[in-house]
Amino acid sequence: MTKTFKAAVMGGSGYGGGEIIRRLLQHPDVELVRISSIDFVGEPVSSAHPNLERWTDMRFEKLEAKELAKGMDVVLLGLPHKVAAHQVPDIIASGARIVDLSGDFRLTDAAAYEKYYGAKHPCPDKLGTFVYGLPELNREKIRAARYIASPGCFATTIELGLLPLARAGWLRGPVETVAITGSSGSGVAAAAGTHHPVRAVNLKSYKTLSHQHLPEIGETMTRAGAIDFALDFVPVSAPLSRGLFATSFAHVDAKITPEQIQKCFEDAYAKEPFVRVPRSRQPEVAAVAGSNYVEVGCVIGDVRDGRRTVTCISALDNLIKGGAGQAIQSMNIMLGCSETASLGDPGSWP
């Protein structure tokens, strides 16, 4: 059967790239035509992604952006930050749409990019031309877009936990968040922080109050309706391969009742295909691992000094809803495909 759209993946040998490939191979409307990587050149896809053995005969190619994008409807970039941006001008010139999983186009402020990513932006004139790919907030903008900046994994988790309060106009002032992530979020290249003998028996914080996802969370929450928003964020590495679990402490006016807050969360996500608000339990990683689903919940505290604390809890798979799956979701919306195409599986339990 002839498929409607043609896609290429640039940077296909990493964990995110493998998840993009897996989803595109199952896509009813999008044909995966080319996969580039500077690693595994000429080797079969299964050499980097053993789970795709016998799923495809495709091989990794070493291709420049112009060659990769030629004749494509969409190019998905699984490249690292500060690398992806260098490829974008040639892909734009080809006429292809772009979904970028790096952080290179999530921000609109070049100074913020330099501060949090440690380098001047390679093409600052393109900042602001990408739509931030959080469907639960920007679905209509994504539908009209040609270039998507897919959100970071921490950012997605925290934003979806706080979004109902922001949209209601109830999120005002500082928020404190602790978020725990699996090792795959650090990428396929081995490093001291992801070395199994240390990671498997350890919990530790890193990039405390300085993580690169801070500015995109600030921009997103402010656009969603938060007032005087500020975030104190502590990321924690956990002995997990996949999964991200965020606990955010927000504060709302005492006049807002627990019943109103609970209804706010339920109503916010009632029609969202990939956001669940569990009623009989709190969100948990094992319930969403391996899937594009995210679970969101809240625990409503007592009133103190005229403010009520709302503990927002959210969980997702950092490689899927926090990465490649959300990129496919945005691609589907942009191309006019079913939003859930190739993403509907519920994952596994436990």
Q: What is the CATH number of the domain that holds 128?
A: 3.40.50.720
Token readout for 335 is 């191309």
49 & 160 share domain: no
Q: Is residue 350 part of a domain?
A: no
162 & 301 share domain: yes
Q: What is the pLDDT of residue 43?
A: 98
Q: Which residue has the tokens 């109103």?
A: 260
286 & 326 share domain: no
Q: What is the pLDDT of residue 188?
A: 81
Is the alpha carbon torsion for 181, 185, 190, 193 positive or negative?
Answer: negative
How far is residue 150's CA from residue 33's CA, in Å, rounded to a whole number?
21
158 & 145 share domain: no
Q: Which residue has the tokens 């974008």?
A: 88
Q: Is residue 340 part of a domain?
A: no
302 & 160 share domain: yes
Within 10 angstroms of residue 139's Cβ, the number of other Cβ atoms is 15
- CATH (domain of 258): 3.30.360.10
Q: Kindly give the interhelix angle for 153-167 and 135-144, rounded to the nearest 10 degrees.
A: 100
145 & 163 share domain: no
Q: What is the pLDDT of residue 86?
A: 96
Q: How far separated are the first and last CA of the chain, in Å rounded?
A: 36
Q: Is residue 349 part of a domain?
A: no
Q: What is the pLDDT of residue 187?
A: 79
The answer to whether 35 touches 8, Cβ cutoff 8 Å, is yes
Name the phi and psi angles at 98, rounded to 5.
-135, 140
How far is residue 104's CA from residue 127's CA, in Å, rounded to a whole number?
8
Within 10 angstroms of residue 66's Cβ, the number of other Cβ atoms is 13
Residue 321 parent element (H or E): none
168 & 304 share domain: yes
182 & 132 share domain: no
Q: Is residue 111 part of a domain?
A: yes
Q: Which domain holds residue 147?
A: 5-151+322-335
259: CB partners within 8 A, 6+ apart: none
Q: What is the pLDDT of residue 327?
A: 98
93 & 160 share domain: no
Provide the residue-wise pLDDT of the chain in tens; the chain has 350 residues: 789 999 999 999 999 999 999 999 999 999 999 999 999 999 999 999 999 999 999 999 999 999 999 999 999 999 999 999 999 999 999 999 999 999 999 999 999 999 999 999 999 999 999 999 999 999 999 999 999 999 999 999 999 999 999 999 999 999 999 999 999 887 787 787 778 888 899 999 999 999 999 999 999 999 999 999 999 999 999 999 999 999 999 999 999 999 999 999 999 999 999 999 999 999 999 999 999 999 999 999 999 999 999 999 999 999 999 999 999 999 999 999 999 999 999 988 88
Q: Which of 153, 264, 298, 312 is catalytic?
A: 153
Is residue 123 flagged as an active site residue? no
| Tally of structural domains, the chain | 2
Strand 204-205 versus strand 227-237 pairing type: antiparallel
The answer to whether 99 touches 331, Cβ cutoff 8 Å, is yes
121 & 241 share domain: no
117 & 226 share domain: no
165 & 311 share domain: yes
How far is residue 350's CA from residue 348's CA, in Å, rounded to a whole number?
6
